[in-house]
């Protein structure tokens, strides 16, 4: 990707050396769109309650945190500057898109943390991956996730990293447009469709990430291989691929984010169209 290093976004809250938030207690009603649902999938697969221990409901109240590593902090600086660029570019793009639709855009904050940190949706932990919390309108990420994306999921490249953040900003757009609250209400009214509606929500965030990708292509920010890198990242985090990697089998009825093919399809749809109207996953 074509970008110039230097500077950190004013919308970044760097909590990497803060020591996190108090152990055990939760400040909100859920972990966020990604974390708790992912734990639910693993609980279903392994027939084990993985959620209660994570929420601190089984007596454990402390969270282990590693000491900050000065060398790691220095090596992460370029990555901090890159996510700053991606964050600001995403938000500026959505401000323009929503203005054309007659809607106002409010900036989300991006919280960088290590190991664990309290959010309005509960404890953000490295193991759950990046997530957006509608309760405080913040995205949470441990930058170490990008090592996982490259090494474990086999999705290297800057645009792969950008796709992850663009997906989470897509959730912020859903929140601003009232889509998130409508989906939660529909889940309460139709418990049997909870997973299906969650998949719709996640695929739309992928489509919204594609819309931002469309904008970067129009402005000649992308370089050769970038689109393939983003598509590879979308495929790498499909429920079927993650389940196959974790357990050796796939359980479509437990999907909460969509298959690799679905995630790629909707990312590409947003990328090719650049239009919100073409991201209505709830009508698929």
> How do residues 119-137 score in pLDDT, each as one tens digit?
999 888 888 889 999 999 9
pTM reported for the whole predicted model: 0.82
DSSP state, residue 193: G
Res 72: pLDDT: 57
Write the pLDDT tens digit of every residue in 194-221: 999 999 999 999 999 999 999 999 999 9
> What pLDDT is stored for residue 70 in this prediction?
55
Percent of the chain with pLDDT over 70: 81
pLDDT at 235: 96
pLDDT tens by residue, 16-64: 987 554 332 223 334 444 454 555 555 545 444 444 444 333 333 333 3
- The tally of CA atoms less than 13 A away on the side-chain side of residue 215 is 20
For the cut 90, the answer to whether the pLDDT of residue 173 exceeds it is: yes
Measured CA to CA in angstroms, residue 56 lies from 34, 43, 62, 130, 226 at distances of 18, 16, 9, 20, 41
Q: What is the model's pLDDT at position 156?
A: 94
Q: Look at residues 108, 156, 150 and name the one whose alpha carbon lies nearest to residue 132.
A: 108
């Amino acid at each position: 990707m074509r970008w110039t290093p230097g500077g950190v976004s004013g919308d970044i809250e760097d909590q990497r050396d803060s020591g996190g938030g108090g152990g055990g207690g939760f400040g909100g009603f859920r972990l966020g769109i990604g974390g708790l649902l992912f734990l639910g999938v693993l609980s279903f697969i392994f027939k084990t309650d993985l959620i209660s221990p994570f929420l601190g409901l089984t007596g454990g109240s402390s969270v282990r945190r590693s000491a900050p590593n000065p060398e790691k902090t220095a090596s992460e600086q370029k990555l901090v500057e890159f996510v700053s660029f991606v964050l600001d570019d995403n938000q500026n793009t959505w401000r323009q898109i929503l203005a054309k639709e007659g809607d106002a855009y409010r900036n989300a904050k991006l919280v960088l943390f290590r190991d664990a940190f309290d959010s309005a949706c509960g404890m953000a932990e490295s193991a759950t991956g990046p997530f957006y919390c509608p309760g405080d309108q913040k995205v949470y990420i441990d930058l170490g996730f990008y090592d996982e994306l490259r090494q474990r999921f086999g999705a290297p490249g800057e645009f792969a990293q950008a796709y992850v953040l663009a997906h989470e900003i897509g959730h912020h757009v859903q929140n601003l447009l009232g889509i998130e609250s409508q989906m939660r209400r529909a889940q309460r009214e139709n418990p049997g469709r909870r997973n299906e509606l969650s998949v719709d929500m996640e695929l739309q965030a992928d489509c919204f990430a594609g819309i931002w990708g469309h904008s970067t292509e129009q402005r000649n920010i992308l370089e050769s291989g970038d689109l393939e890198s983003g598509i590879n990242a979308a495929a790498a985090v499909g429920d079927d691929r993650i389940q196959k990697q974790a357990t050796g089998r796939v359980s479509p009825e437990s999907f909460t984010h969509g298959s690799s093919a679905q995630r790629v399809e909707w990312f590409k749809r947003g990328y090719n169209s650049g239009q919100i109207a073409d991201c209505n996953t709830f009508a698929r």
